[in-house]
Amino acid sequence: MDLSDAIQRKIDEKTKPIGALGRIEALAAQIAALQKTLNPQMNACRLLIFAADHGLATEGVSAYPQSVTRQMVLNFLAGGAASTTFARTLGVDVAVVDCGVAGVPIADPRLHARRCGAGTANSLTAAAMTEAQCVAARQTGAELAIAGAYDALCLGEMGIANTSAASLIAHKLTDIPLDALIGKGTGLDDAGLQRKHAVLSRAAARTPARLPPAIALREYGGFEIAAMVGAMIAGAQAGRLILIDGFIASVAALIAQHEAPDAAAHFVYAHCSAERGHRAVLAALGARPLLDLDMRLGEGTGALLAWPLVRVACAMLNEMASFTSAQVDGPQ
């Protein structure tokens, strides 16, 4: 009997009808297969929040000013954001990373300062990143993804205008029309959404209709998105479970899955964001998220909410009685 068959047999022998725990059973099987054991462990998780600014923000594609990126980094460090509140409640470690916040560097010993620049260039008129900047951002994510003794990683981001960047990347990598990807982001009104659509349409017209993933990332991405790509690939190669958050993280996963197909087995899509376009990106990935809570915040909030499900999936496999051990009659 090979390992996958043994895992499924162990799940089916638990004191329940076959398949009665639904997605929890599939999640347990995924984790056991990754760790190559019938008794997988999921004890420690870390949230990586990558923050960076986008030159495209100057075109008015967000309801919030670019200064909010810096202010939210300080809020993360103080523990006052939704993501840090969730992480604290769930016992998840947090690392906040400045990949390229606009303005002068933030001086705080709690911050991982890995700046690739003071924000990207404006992708309406030029490539967002140089090749060297993109490589550096990816390396930042890779290094942090393998640091420490963690079983799982939650990946979050912060950067005003990064839903615009993610929409452009997804459009260049798939057959999804730009119209289907552009949403209200941080809360644009109808006029703001029209302006965002006009700006992104012009930005998209600057390059060929389809681009290779690495080029799309460099042309339209952000330092924080590139860092997530690096973290996803390196974290998977290190054997870690990767809990993928919403729209922006899923676009990073599009690139990671293309470049490192084996990494996809390590990915758990935590939730379906209310941000327009996320369902289309999930469909392109062939992904089925665990949760659908009408959330659209980012920061890793949705990924964090999947962590308890990961832990109970392991507990089910390791601690739930079998029909034999509990002396319960099985199916006839």
Q: Which of 207, 184, 248 is nearest to 123 (CA)?
A: 207
Q: Judge contact between 106 and 324, C-beta under 8 A.
A: no
Extract the runs of DSSP E, i.e. beta strands, from 164-263.
241-244
Residues in the chain: 332
The secondary structure of residue 92, as a DSSP letter, is: -
Q: Which of 56, 29, 20 is nearest to 128 (CA)?
A: 56
What one-letter code names the amino acid at 149? A
What one-letter code names the amino acid at 84? T
What one-letter code names the amino acid at 75? N
Q: How many CB atoms lie within 10 A of CB 307?
A: 23
Alpha carbon distance 247, 227 (integer Å): 15
Q: Judge contact between 150 and 44, C-beta under 8 A.
A: yes
Q: Kindly list the distances between the CA atom of residue 128 and the CA atoms of 41, 48, 134, in Å, as whole numbers in the listed order.
A: 40, 23, 9
143 is catalytic: no
Active-site residue (options: 224, 275, 299, 319): 299
Alpha carbon distance 199, 167 (integer Å): 12
Alpha carbon distance 321, 82 (integer Å): 37
Write out the catalytic residue numbers: 299
